[in-house]
Amino acid sequence: MENLSTIKKIAVILASIDREISIRILRTLPPNYVQKITAEIRMLGEITQEMSRQSFFEMAEQIEVGVNPVGGEDLARSLLQEVMGEDDAAAMLYNAPEDRTEAFAAIRKVNGKDLANILSKEQPSTVSIILAFMPSRKAGEVMVHFDEDFKEEIVTRLAQRRRADPQIVKSIERIFVDKVISLIHSMKESDTDYLGGPQYVAEMFQYMDRDESDQMMESLTEMSGELADEVRDLMFTFDDILYISDPDIQKILREVPMEKLQVALRGASTELFDKITNNLSKRARENLVEEMDLAGKIKKKDVESEQRNVVAAVRALEASGEIQLGTGGEEDSYV
């Protein structure tokens, strides 16, 4: 059996299974392969149990491993095109229920700068729809590369919560994504019918350079003070930690490594610095101050990056119900 050729093993399998199935398989093969296989079948004679067992076992192993065990949009499209034709395959992929991929998913891994270069040549209305389907972090990575005037118009459009027109989204997706992908992931109608909104912009600002987000907030305020106020109310910044209760700050500190904290506290107000470090042990505070003195100057972008990481930890604790935001300080009132 070790010397049995691949063609002979195929011949054994085709000779052993239902005749109609064998015919259907042979019809898919090139003529030269069909000639070789049928020649082997003619010379088989009796198929021993060992020959059959080995041939089917090897085939089962190959099926289990797969020729190219990678799924995805390209494979689905290729298979459907072979079966149904290109137009019908595209329609079926777009209308597939339940397991649909979110729109524009295929371009989410594109570098933010490269994506900005592509989008900057398009109309703001189109760009705002595309970015609204992106995670807020990704949208922030793209926005920083736009020209100032373009950014101002985009952020204003993103802040306006509006319904998504499925046909428009499909049309835009066909232009920007060189793949046929599903329109919107199956979610509740209230979640999928709207794009952007104040909450979206507030989250997006968390992942952007502070100077950039401040400038964009000023532009949004000039264009729509009401929208700017909504966004501002939904934002939580590193400075807002000042208003968290001491017990909750202690929970936050357990999630933040000391070497990260000493970077995040660079440039913090005295009041905020004291608020945070007063929740450390005396020894830990002394070590923190010493490390900050020894570290020297640190790039502003690195400080803001660590501050965003601290804010992310705060948000995660709030989401899990372990802490509450805005419950500390003198601003608490009772009636």
What confidence category does residue 305 fall into, taking pLDDT thresholds of 50, 70 and 90? confident
- Please tell me which residue, 283 or 237, carries the higher pLDDT value: 283
- The encoded tokens of residue 105 equal 């998913």
- Per-residue model confidence (pLDDT) at position 275: 93
pLDDT at 150 over 70: yes
Please, what sign has the CA dihedral across residues 128, 129, 131, 136? positive
Q: Is 102 helix (H, G, I), strand (E, B) or coil?
A: coil
Average pLDDT of the segment spanning 42-67: 77
Residue intervals of the chain classified under CATH 1.10.220.30 are 105-234, 238-319
Give tens-digit pLDDT for 102-145.
Answer: 677 767 777 777 778 878 877 888 888 888 888 888 888 889 88
pLDDT of residue 3: 59
Whether residue 38 is predicted with pLDDT greater than 70 in this model: the reply is yes
Phi-psi label, residue 32: left if phi above 0, alpha if psi -120 to 50, beta otherwise: alpha
Do 242 and 329 meet the contact criterion of CB atoms below 8 Å apart? yes
Count CB neighbours of 25 within 10 A. Answer: 15
The angle that helices 49-65 and 6-16 make with each other, rounded to 10 degrees, is 100
> How far apart are alpha carbons 140 and 125 in whole angstroms?
17
Confidence of residue 183 (pLDDT cuts 50, 70, 90): very low
Neighbours of 68 (CB within 10 A): 7
Residues 37, 11: Cα–Cα separation, whole Å: 6
pLDDT value for 177: 62
CATH of 238-319, one of 3.90.220.20, 3.50.50.60, 3.30.428.10, 1.10.220.30: 1.10.220.30
- Percent of all residues in the chain with a pLDDT value above 70, rounded to a whole number: 75
Give 272's pLDDT tier (boundaries 50, 70, 90). Answer: very high
Which pLDDT band, with edges at 50, 70 and 90, does 334 fall under? very low
pLDDT per residue as tens digits for the range 66-105: 555 555 555 666 666 666 566 555 555 544 443 334 677 7
Nearest-angstrom CA–CA distance, 133 and 164: 10
Neighbouring-strand partners of residue 194: 163
Residue 90 is predicted with a pLDDT of 55
* pTM for the whole structure: 0.39
What is the chain's alpha carbon radius of gyration, rounded to the nearest angstrom? 30
For 239-253, the pLDDT digits (tens) are 889 989 999 999 999
What CA–CA distance (Å, rounded) separates 254 from 261?
Answer: 11
CATH number given to 105-234: 1.10.220.30
